[in-house]
Chain A
């Protein structure tokens, strides 16, 4: 078992050292050859197990409840199965109201996917410019962007709605997409990263060879900044996917809803239409599934980005 643990170390450490932010040196715990006493191991693992039960319990409840009918949700014990029909119930979630659930899911993918992609490219270009071109007022621009990181996003949502409805494009895809394409944190991260990872000498060499600035950026800059770009994309994707207030204030047409907004509207009607309880639970389960798989798989990328971010304060 201890080999399993040690195998984790290089696998986890590799991307971190790739960023140059942190050399992946583990504390010399197994190097000295002493194993900690059994008593310590039992205490540590017990504490970790209690914590794991707390974090996994609601997810377990959700998985069990997604297989139940609305009346069984109320009538039977929540932590165990009762007459499970997962396929049937989940199919009903997907087909209810002409498959509106699938549409909501597609909307969420569009907002988060397109928004995060655009945000990443814009941040990359802006961060690269701030890192590699000394021009008057550069620090001023950077500080304004940095202040943007500290402004709460939801404090902006309401004024943004007032502004957009004045301009006449509230309740459109663009009203959610455009604000999603701006990531001050992404610019911050890209600037820090480009400063360290894109050598000036390389840019100079490319210039002497006659390459244009746009070409240097797309061929050299973007490639060298890839680890930071992956992080920015992931952060922004999750940020947009989780955003609730912005679509809530912007959208009134349920065809444009992202998944979260759709599910709360189901939950709101469930008093009058009890089968919606089951659809809300089943829909929540389906929406959480892909994200949690993503979290598990992409943990190491998160870590990479987090190291970058944590040097900041």
Chain B
């Protein structure tokens, strides 16, 4: 579409429009470049350098930065703790995301079911934890995990069951519980929004055809909220990969959490504890790469199974912008 427009001499109004568009866009683009593009570029640049000491003794000599090629990436990938951290968040995501999405879907369907009561109260109760910042949620649940303070441990103990939420085997799932507690209500709300957009006639038609409540839920509601399910899953994948504050806050409470428990924690400790910003930069780049690959990969996977489904901005425009000039950018 831009081709023919370029060949023609731009009219005065077009010039005026382009100037105005640039004026509206520039402030955002400048900050976007500073806070998104520049750090990515800088991280890639830093990850390709290393520090070399010119003196014979490390302390006395001058240091200078020299080209390192991909050796920082090799260092990061050979570091067992870093790769173990990746494996850990992938395992975490493979278990926690399906559980959370299933729970959110179940609650959304229950709240939308004809047999539900006190819907407003329940919906608010489920959504409240989203208002608790991740750090506070971790501090809060941390207290509920520590023996001595936690009433949960106390109740379990008096029932003859000695639980240790912070043991080596359990702590990952204790973190999973924190994340699930925080975000189920949010995901539920996304799904409810999609359910409400479904025309009521569909349900009535199904009911007249003799479908029962759970059949309607399974065969009609679930397929219709698929876009919302995809959206929440992608955001959850991104969130899981960058997991940081939960293990950081729980670390003092549990000695099963090491400095490389998640990739993000590893990069953080590499930069601030080991003072090795070049390896840290390489780790940050790897993390961003994996996150992008996984999110795009998931979007494509879902897209392929149902090629007709509108995708991305075009889809949104088709749904919403029937008036106006929704067609121009297609």
Q: Decide yes or no whether A106 CB sits under 8 A from chain B.
A: no
- Identify which of residues 4-33 in chain B touch chain A, using a CB-to-CB cut-off of 8 Å: 5-6, 13, 16-18, 20-25, 27-29, 31-32
Given contacts A303-B192, A311-B227, contact A28 B203 (CB under 8 A): yes
User: Please, how many angstroms separate the alpha-carbon atoms of A23 and B199 in the complex?
Assistant: 8
Question: Contact at A55–B126, with CB atoms within 8 Å?
Answer: yes
Residues of B within 8 A of A141 (CB): 25, 29
Q: Decide yes or no whether A220 CB sits under 8 A from chain B.
A: no
Residues of A within 8 A of B110 (CB): 44, 47-48
Q: What string of 1s and 0s marks CB contacts (under 8 Å) between A199-228 and chain B? A: 110000001000001100100000000000
Partner of A299, one of B28, B140, B189: B189
Question: Contact at A8–B119, with CB atoms within 8 Å?
Answer: yes
- Identify which of residues 117-133 in chain B touch chain A, using a CB-to-CB cut-off of 8 Å: 117-133
Question: Contact at A51–B196, with CB atoms within 8 Å?
Answer: no
Question: Contact at B42–A44, with CB atoms within 8 Å?
Answer: no
Q: What string of 1s and 0s marks CB contacts (under 8 Å) between A249-279 and chain B? A: 1000000000011011001100100000000
CB-based A-B contact count at 8 angstroms: 376
Residues of B within 8 A of A77 (CB): 151, 154
User: Please, how many angstroms separate the alpha-carbon atoms of A130 and B21 in the complex?
Assistant: 8
Question: Contact at B128–A296, with CB atoms within 8 Å?
Answer: yes
Q: What string of 1s and 0s marks CB contacts (under 8 Å) between A145-159 and chain B? A: 111101111111011
Given contacts A58-B144, A288-B131, contact A184 B36 (CB under 8 A): yes
Question: Contact at A313–B227, with CB atoms within 8 Å?
Answer: yes
Given contacts A153-B242, A309-B190, A310-B231, contact A182 B24 (CB under 8 A): no
Q: What string of 1s and 0s marks CB contacts (under 8 Å) between B184-222 and chain A? A: 110001101110111111011001000001000000000
Q: Decide yes or no whether B234 CB sits under 8 A from chain A.
A: yes
Residues of B within 8 A of A1 (CB): 117
Residues of B within 8 A of A56 (CB): 125, 128
Nearest CB of A to B111, in Å: 7
Residues of B within 8 A of A95 (CB): none
The residue of chain B having its C-beta at the shortest distance from the C-beta of A73 within the complex is: B149
Q: Decide yes or no whether A168 CB sits under 8 A from chain B.
A: no
Given contacts A16-B196, A287-B136, contact A28 B204 (CB under 8 A): yes
Q: Decide yes or no whether A122 CB sits under 8 A from chain B.
A: yes
Residues of B within 8 A of A145 (CB): 32
Q: Decide yes or no whether B313 CB sits under 8 A from chain A.
A: yes
Partner of B31, one of A25, A178, A191, A192: A178
Interface residues on A, range: 35 or more
Nearest CB of B to A57, in Å: 8
Given contacts A136-B5, A158-B43, contact A307 B194 (CB under 8 A): yes
Question: Contact at A148–B43, with CB atoms within 8 Å?
Answer: no
User: Please, how many angstroms separate the alpha-carbon atoms of A162 and B110 in the complex?
Assistant: 48
Question: Contact at A311–B27, with CB atoms within 8 Å?
Answer: no
Q: What string of 1s and 0s marks CB contacts (under 8 Å) between B256-293 and chain A? A: 00000000100110011000010011001001100110
Residues of B within 8 A of A200 (CB): 324-325
Q: Decide yes or no whether B107 CB sits under 8 A from chain A.
A: yes
Q: Decide yes or no whether B61 CB sits under 8 A from chain A.
A: no
Tell me what chain B mostly uses at the interface: helix, strand, loop, or mixed. helix
Residues of A within 8 A of B321 (CB): 195-196
Question: Contact at B328–A21, with CB atoms within 8 Å?
Answer: no
Nearest CB of A to B14, in Å: 8
Given contacts A151-B291, A162-B42, contact A242 B133 (CB under 8 A): yes
Q: Decide yes or no whether B159 CB sits under 8 A from chain A.
A: no
Residues of A within 8 A of B28 (CB): 122-123, 125-126, 182, 187
Residues of A within 8 A of B60 (CB): none
Q: Decide yes or no whether A138 CB sits under 8 A from chain B.
A: yes
Residues of A within 8 A of B296 (CB): 150
The residue of chain A having its C-beta at the shortest distance from the C-beta of B140 within the complex is: A58
The residue of chain A having its C-beta at the shortest distance from the C-beta of B36 within the complex is: A148
Q: Decide yes or no whether A107 CB sits under 8 A from chain B.
A: no
Counting chain B CB atoms within 10 Å of each CB, the highest count among A65, A77, A178, A288 belongs to A288
Nearest CB of A to B76, in Å: 13
User: Please, how many angstroms separate the alpha-carbon atoms of A107 and B14 in the complex?
Assistant: 45
Question: Contact at B328–A5, with CB atoms within 8 Å?
Answer: no
Question: Contact at A30–B114, with CB atoms within 8 Å?
Answer: yes
Nearest CB of A to B104, in Å: 10
Residues of B within 8 A of A309 (CB): 190, 231
Given contacts A5-B119, A126-B29, A150-B291, contact A25 B128 (CB under 8 A): no
User: Please, how many angstroms separate the alpha-carbon atoms of A261 and B248 in the complex?
Assistant: 12
State the 9 A-B residue pairs at the shortest beta-carbon distance, nearest first: A78-B151, A159-B43, A22-B197, A133-B21, A213-B20, A129-B24, A159-B39, A295-B131, A126-B28
Q: What would 5 A/B residue contacts be, using CB atoms closer than 8 Å?
A: A45-B118, A58-B137, A61-B143, A151-B291, A182-B36
**Which residue numbers of B lie inside 8 Å of A, CB to CB?**
1-2, 5-6, 13, 16-18, 20-25, 27-29, 31-32, 34-36, 38-40, 42-43, 46, 107, 110-137, 139-144, 148-152, 154, 181, 184-185, 189-190, 192-194, 196-201, 203-204, 207, 213, 227-228, 230-231, 234, 238, 241-242, 244-245, 248-249, 252, 264, 267-268, 271-272, 277, 280-281, 284, 287-288, 291-292, 295-296, 299, 302, 311-313, 315-317, 319-321, 323-326, 328-329
